[in-house]
Amino acid sequence: MNKTITLTIILLMSLIMNSCAIDTFKRRNKRDKIFSLYEKGKNEDDDAALIQAGKEYQEIINEKIHAQDRLAAVYRTLAERSLAQAQYVYSAKYFTEALKILPNSPYLRYGLGISYMNLTESADTEKQKDEFFERALNNLRFSFDKDNANPNYNAALASLLGIHKDQYEEASKYIENALRINGSNTDYLFVGARIYYSLGDFERSIELYRNIVNSETSTSKEKQTAEANMRTLSAR
């Protein structure tokens, strides 16, 4: 039985290796043919050969671009999944890989910024915490500069600057932008309420908590938390 399994594995490996060898040969043969067309066109003033060589090279480039796009999508999916599972080291890793292919994507930079923002909470040293904060800030600012009307980018900067760095005045500007665009988002409302509490603006904080309580999209747990915070603030 074991001998049969071993022989089967060997046969499969042989088939895979042969398939890879054939693919490699085909690609090399195609490149050689295109180069021959190029040489013919250049040396014999054959425009038709040069045009055909150009078309063939363009096909290779298009295939590569398509593969790069798919690879970026793979890394993006892995990054989003890691982020949802609070595996921030891995989400930062995969967002970084995707950005090697699409370096100007504001969404990918936003995801990387969120990853580093969460990593600040588990940093081993103050130096590492500062490094993670700077990386988060740089990436989130990049996203904001690309699309300052995106409420997620505004809210992320508000959270980073306010909750993680105690820069409440600046943070309040970003959270107000986010709430102006989407005033019913519960996450934005919680961030805003915390920022205004820290600024000593208890009335505004209570107002935002009240919006959470009155919102149809808030969960029961979110409403209970908001109500408890309102009672605490009202008793001050």
Q: Where are the domains of the chain?
A: 68-147, 168-236
pLDDT per residue of the chain (236 residues) written in tens, 0 to 9: 555 656 565 665 665 555 545 555 556 666 677 667 667 666 666 667 656 766 766 676 666 667 778 888 888 999 999 999 999 999 999 999 999 989 999 999 999 999 999 999 999 999 999 999 999 999 999 999 999 999 999 999 999 999 888 999 999 999 999 999 999 999 999 999 999 999 999 999 999 999 999 999 999 999 999 999 999 998 87
Classify domain 168-236 at the CATH topology level.
Answer: 1.25.40
pLDDT at 72: 87
Tokens describing residue 74: 């793979």
Q: How many CB atoms lie within 10 A of CB 49?
A: 18
pLDDT at 99: 96
pLDDT at 69: 81
pLDDT at 95: 97
**How far is CA 84 from each of CA 31, 114, 158, rounded to the nearest angstrom?**
43, 11, 20
Query: Is the C-alpha dihedral spanning 215, 216, 217, 219 positive or negative?
Result: positive
Task: Note the pLDDT tens digit of each residue in 65-75.
Answer: 677 788 888 88
Q: What contacts 84, CB < 8 A, 6 or more positions away? A: none
Task: Note the pLDDT tens digit of each residue in 115-146.
Answer: 999 999 999 999 999 999 999 999 999 999 99
Class for domain 68-147, per CATH? mainly alpha
Q: How many CA atoms lie within 13 A of 154 on its CB side?
A: 21
